[in-house]
């Protein structure tokens, strides 16, 4: 699968409502939409939902990048990714599916992205 950088993590996500900020979609909705796109096969490339997913994931990645910058400035980063950190779509989906089904409704993609980066790029002391 294609690797996506910290600033471009949006390659896979959907938005919930027109008023929600990118990255605010919950994990359950995201996975449902991703599964629906996957079922379309190659036709998914022409689906407007793909662009929505991309914007959602990008928004979650950008939100995490901004939060990480604030944490670094305070001297307490929650993760320590390399400059060109990349997470591919399979890694993201596997991470999202690891949340218990009952919890997926209450976890936003922003939170899930932060959890994934904390897990994938822990700071070494």
* pLDDT tens-digit series, residues 104-118: 999 999 999 999 999
Which has more confidence, 63 or 3? 63
Q: Which residues pair with 88 in a beta bridge?
A: 3
Residue-wise pLDDT for 74-83, tens only, equals 999 999 999 8
- In the chain, which residue ranges form alpha helices assigned H by DSSP? 27-39, 48-73, 89-98, 109-120
Which tokens sit at 4? 């996506």
pTM of the model: 0.78
The predicted structure's pLDDT at residue 84: 85
- Tell me the CA distances in angstroms from 3 to 9, 10, 21, 63, 75, one per residue in order: 9, 11, 23, 19, 29
pLDDT at 49: 86
Each residue's pLDDT tens digit, 10-53? 334 333 344 467 778 999 999 999 999 999 999 988 888 898 88
């Amino acid at each position: 699968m294609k690797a996506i950088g910290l600033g471009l993590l949006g390659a896979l996500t959907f938005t919930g409502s027109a008023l929600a900020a990118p990255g605010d979609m919950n994990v359950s909705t995201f996975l449902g939409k991703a599964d629906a796109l996957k079922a379309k096969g190659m036709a998914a490339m022409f689906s407007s939902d793909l662009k929505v997913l991309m914007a959602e994931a990008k928004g979650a990645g950008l939100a995490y990048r901004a939060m990480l910058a604030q944490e670094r400035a305070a001297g307490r980063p929650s993760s320590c990714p390399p400059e060109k950190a990349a997470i591919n779509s399979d890694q993201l989906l596997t991470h999202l599916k690891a949340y218990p089904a009952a919890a997926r409704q209450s976890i936003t993609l922003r939170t899930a992205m932060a959890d994934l980066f904390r897990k994938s790029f822990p700071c070494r002391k």
